[in-house]
């Protein structure tokens, strides 16, 4: 008999599964994977079995990790069910505040583009797992929002957008900004510009 104890950020549920000795067992974690690391614990005494897709070396011949095709839920596969694998299993997720934020295609603190040509501003968290949202804003207004690790804002810049400041912010689940980065939009005219059209 296996006791499955699922832990999410907010809810705890439990499921009891009965399996024959020697059979294979698939335990599906109900947490939809949002780029956060799933940790699997199991008997004895809720020992660590796997972190993310990395199975403990001493258990690699006994268990494996995969994920469901559609919703990317973590699956712990027990290859041959034995008595020492009978007991309580737990899957959980831990948030870590983002520690590195990258604005793609930026050169220093600027992104250069051409008037009338569609451009994508892309910002991504490359370290840490915010568990909340990541946003683009300009002039104090949020123009794009996504979560938890990547946000893209598509715009077709006008001459008046030249010199605009765009700010990317990453938020944890609690909602308070923990990391931000800004970039200045430099818009070149498609044909001919007067000298006073650009101010840098």
pLDDT tens for each residue of 25-70 = 999 888 775 556 788 888 988 888 988 888 988 899 999 999 888 8
Kindly write down the DSSP assignment for every residue of 40-101, as one continuous string. Answer: EEETTTTEEEEETTEE-GGGTTTEEEEE-TTT--EEEEESS--GGG-EEEEEEE--EEEEEE
Q: What is the mean pLDDT of residues 104-112?
A: 88
Percent of the chain with pLDDT over 90: 28
- Report residue 182: phi and psi, to 5°: -125, 155
Contacts of 155 (CB under 8 A, 6+ apart): 118, 119, 121, 143, 161
Q: Which residue has the higher pLDDT, 31 or 188?
A: 188
Q: How confident is the model at residue 139 (pLDDT cuts 50, 70, 90)?
A: very high
pLDDT of residue 4 exceeding 60, the answer is: no
Decide: pTM greater than 0.75: no
Q: How confident is the model at residue 198 (pLDDT cuts 50, 70, 90)?
A: very low
Burial (Cβ within 10 Å: 0-12, 13-18, ≥19) of residue 118: exposed
């Amino acid at each position: 008999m296996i006791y499955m104890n699922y832990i999410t950020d907010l809810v705890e549920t439990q499921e009891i599964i009965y399996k024959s000795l020697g059979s294979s067992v698939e335990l599906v974690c109900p947490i939809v994977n949002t780029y956060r690391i799933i940790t699997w614990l199991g008997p004895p005494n809720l020992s660590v079995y796997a972190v993310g897709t990395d199975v403990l070396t001493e258990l690699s011949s006994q268990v494996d990790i995969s994920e469901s095709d559609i919703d990317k839920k973590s699956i712990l596969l027990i290859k041959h069910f034995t008595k020492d694998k009978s007991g309580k299993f737990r899957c959980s997720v831990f948030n870590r505040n983002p520690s590195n934020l990258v604005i793609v295609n930026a050169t220093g603190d600027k992104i250069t583009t051409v008037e009338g040509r569609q451009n994508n501003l892309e910002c991504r968290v490359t370290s840490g797992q915010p568990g909340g949202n990541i946003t683009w804003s300009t002039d104090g207004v949020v123009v794009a929002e996504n979560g938890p690790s990547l946000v893209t804002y598509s715009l077709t810049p006008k001459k008046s957008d030249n010199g605009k400041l765009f700010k990317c912010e990453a938020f944890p689940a609690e909602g308070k900004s923990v990391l931000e980065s800004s970039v200045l939009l430099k818009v070149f005219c498609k044909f001919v510009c007067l000298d006073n059209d650009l101010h840098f």
